[in-house]
Amino acid sequence: MFTDGDVAVKLAVYRHFAETGRRPTPSEVAARAGATAGDVVEAYQRLRSRAAARAYRRPQPAEMRAIFAVLGLTGPFWDPEHDPD
């Protein structure tokens, strides 16, 4: 679960990029987010682990059917639960 501090860190990173066009240091993020550099590093770890969990989640069959349908790919071949035998 994200904390309010994690959200503040995330927004501070976005603002820094928008204003400067470069990656911020943890100290720069800390100053913007009202946190310590250590808090920022911990927030980065939580945010990264949450992003990784979402990135590697396997879609459910109904989600796959919906994705394929949007792409115009329909029929038994594109149904992840279809058993051709």
Full domain range(s) for residue 73: 4-78
Count: domains in the chain: 1
| 62-80 residue pLDDT tens | 888 888 888 888 888 888 8
Mean pLDDT over 6-12 rounds to 92
Is-above-0.85 flag for pTM?
Answer: no
SS3 65: helix
Rounded CA separation 14/18 (Å): 6
Q: In this structure, what token pair is assigned to residue 55?
A: 């990135």
- 85 is a domain residue: no
Whether residue 2 has pLDDT greater than 60: no
Whether residue 24 has pLDDT greater than 60: yes
**Could you count the other beta carbons within 10 Å of the beta carbon of residue 50?**
13
